[in-house]
């Protein structure tokens, strides 16, 4: 019965926060910057403040389903609903499966499921972004760091495996960023 909540979690994930925030300022976010409808591209095109707004809104798309699963006292359901929301964000049926990269949505769910690890990783993201000047490098660092941190914390193996699988999908969505990084052509993190 709880697994019926996967569909609403997916649909919540499809909500186009970046597109709506950018459109409110007269910008089609998929036609500027990297073309990605996510917080990093909004920050790059519109400034850090707007990127943070989208990051928080996209984070809520992961946090709400994860929290709902925990309220139902089903940790496995919380993970399932988080994955559904991340998939909705990355592959929204409402936008021909062209969505964001899932970092903020995954981060919001992780904050609910593993708050201490997530706060440490948020600090890591800020440090790596400042040092590298690239949000993609910071995002890759925390996607690798999340399952490692959860494993070190002593969480059950199935939780670590679930995070590895979900983060692998997020990393796959960063293949173009990785190619640009290796070629020295990756865009800067944001304008201020």
pTM, to two decimals:
0.86
Chain segment 2-12, per-residue pLDDT in tens: 678 899 999 99
Residue 115's pLDDT is what? 96
Q: Residue 192 has what pLDDT?
A: 42
Q: Which residues of the chain have pLDDT under 70?
A: 1-2, 177, 181, 185-192
The predicted structure's pLDDT at residue 128:
92
Which tens digit of pLDDT belongs to each residue from 165-192?
A: 988 888 887 777 677 767 776 655 554 4
Find how far residue 176's CA is from the centre of its chain.
16
* pLDDT value for 36: 80
């Amino acid at each position: 019965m709880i697994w019926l909540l996967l569909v609403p979690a997916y649909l919540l994930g499809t909500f186009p926060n970046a597109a709506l925030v950018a459109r409110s300022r007269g910008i089609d976010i998929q036609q500027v910057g990297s073309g990605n409808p996510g917080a990093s591209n909004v920050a790059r095109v519109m400034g850090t403040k707007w990127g943070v707004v989208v990051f928080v809104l996209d984070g809520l798309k992961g946090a709400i389903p994860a929290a709902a699963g925990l309220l139902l006292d089903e940790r496995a359901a919380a993970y399932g609903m988080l994955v559904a929301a991340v998939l909705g964000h990355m592959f929204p049926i409402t936008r021909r499966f062209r969505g964001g990269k899932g970092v903020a949505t995954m981060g919001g769910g992780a904050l609910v499921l593993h708050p201490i690890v997530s706060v440490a990783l948020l600090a890591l993201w800020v440090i790596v972004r400042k040092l590298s000047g690239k949000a993609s490098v910071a995002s890759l660092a925390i996607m690798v760091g999340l399952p490692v941190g959860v494993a070190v914390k002593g969480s059950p193996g199935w939780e670590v495996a679930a995070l590895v699988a979900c983060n692998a999908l997020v990393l796959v969505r960063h293949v173009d960023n990785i190619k640009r990084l290796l070629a020295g052509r990756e865009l800067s993190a944001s304008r201020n």
